[in-house]
Amino acid sequence: MKKILLFAISLIFLACENKTSEETEAPEETLSISKADTLEYRLSKVIPTEGGFSISEQAAHAVLSEIQYREQGIFYVYAPETDFRGTEVVKIKRADSNGAEIFSETITTLEIEVTE
């Protein structure tokens, strides 16, 4: 009887598990820069108190590939390696949170074409 009761309680806890986080894909952005340029892509005009941005798939041929927080907002900054020409793919995750839990995540894919 105790085993059945413990089993029932564990099922209740599993059923009540809170999985409210939703992950969505934002439309892909295609950007083009010269090999000598630095790309600055604005992710947001405001800096969130909770949640934020992170790179979930890093650029393979970058001298600089990072998220920067500035007074003007949040930017993804990219500079290609000197001899690289081609296409880079970067995925940036935005997590929205109420402080206690993340309730949504959005993945933005940036396709960066590096030209002469």
Residue 111 lies in a domain: yes
Total count of domains within the chain: 1
The percentage of the chain sitting over the pLDDT mark of 90, rounded to a whole number, equals 54
pLDDT number for residue 7 = 59
pTM of the model: 0.74
Residue 2 lies in a domain: no
Provide the residue range defining the domain that includes 87: 20-115
Residue 5 lies in a domain: no
Residue 96 lies in a domain: yes
Q: Is the pLDDT of residue 13 over 90?
A: no
pLDDT mean over 34-40: 94
Residue 7 lies in a domain: no
Residue 98 lies in a domain: yes
Q: Is the pLDDT of residue 4 over 70?
A: no
Task: Find the CATH number of the domain harbouring 108.
Answer: 2.60.40.10
Which of 5-9, 49-53, 58-62 shows the lowest mean pLDDT across its residues? 5-9
Residue 12 lies in a domain: no
38-47: per-residue pLDDT in tens? 999 999 998 7
DSSP sequence for the chain: -HHHHHHHHHHHHHHT-----EEEEPPPEEEEEETT--EEEEEESS--SS-EEEEEE--SSEEEEEEEEETTEEEEEEEE-TT--EEEEEEEEEEEE-SSSEEEEEEEEEEEEEE-
pLDDT mean over 26-47: 90
Residue 3 lies in a domain: no
